[in-house]
Amino acid sequence: MNRRQFIKTGLALGTAAALGVTLYPVVTAESSTEPAAQGPARTVLLALVPALLFGALPKDTHAAQQQIAATVDAALAFLPYLPQRQQHDLQQLFVMLDTELLRLALAGHLTPLADLPVAARLALLHGWRDSFIALLNQAYSGLRELLYGSYYGNPEHWAPIAYQPLEFRSYE
């Protein structure tokens, strides 16, 4: 083996090892109903809820944190009721956004999402919404619908948007 072959082999093995370490969590991701698999989902949702609900959350930090936690819990509780394909896609998205190299590819940041300022997270979501890549549009739409449904599904959030639920007459 000459020097050139040794260098090429070393680079190939290093690249393969880096890809293996990065892609292993994505390939082995379990369904979102298992508590261990909710780690990446909880981490990503806790980071994205303040950006997605920017302006709807109360100004009080403690109340905002409570509403964020309640919204994430509601979203995680709803995930098992989605079709299997959507559960799998969302779980893969959560794992990708929780893994450094894949987060760099999807979000353009090596920094964990929770460490980014809210404005940067909001810009990331707007970039996905306006992207020409259909997969990013789908990721934005899925996260938006899941989190909006989890937040506005709580009756205490209806008053600020003047939502009046339907009232049914009882037939006596």
**Is the pLDDT assigned to residue 35 strictly greater than 50?**
no
Span 110-124, average pLDDT: 89
Q: Which residue has the higher pLDDT, 6 or 146?
A: 146
In this prediction, residue 169 carries a pLDDT of 74
Q: Is residue 168 one of the residues assigned to a domain? A: no
Q: Is residue 117 one of the residues assigned to a domain? A: yes
Span 145-149, average pLDDT: 89
In this prediction, residue 32 carries a pLDDT of 41
Q: Is residue 10 one of the residues assigned to a domain? A: no
**Is the pLDDT assigned to residue 29 strictly greater than 60?**
no
**Is the pLDDT assigned to residue 2 strictly greater than 70?**
yes
Q: Is residue 15 one of the residues assigned to a domain? A: no
**Is the pLDDT assigned to residue 78 strictly greater than 70?**
yes
CA atoms within 13 A on the CB side of 81: 7
Q: Is residue 82 one of the residues assigned to a domain? A: yes
Give the domain range for residue 134: 34-154
**Is the pLDDT assigned to residue 73 strictly greater than 90?**
yes
Q: Is residue 11 one of the residues assigned to a domain? A: no
Total domains in the fold of the chain: 1
The closest alpha carbon to 156, from 48, 58, 52, belongs to 58
Span 59-84, average pLDDT: 90
**Is the pLDDT assigned to residue 22 strictly greater than 90?**
no
Q: In terms of C-beta density within 10 A (0-12 exposed, 13-18 middle, 19 or more buried), how is residue 86 classed?
A: middle
Span 10-16, average pLDDT: 76
Q: Is residue 1 one of the residues assigned to a domain? A: no
Q: Is residue 146 one of the residues assigned to a domain? A: yes
Span 112-141, average pLDDT: 90
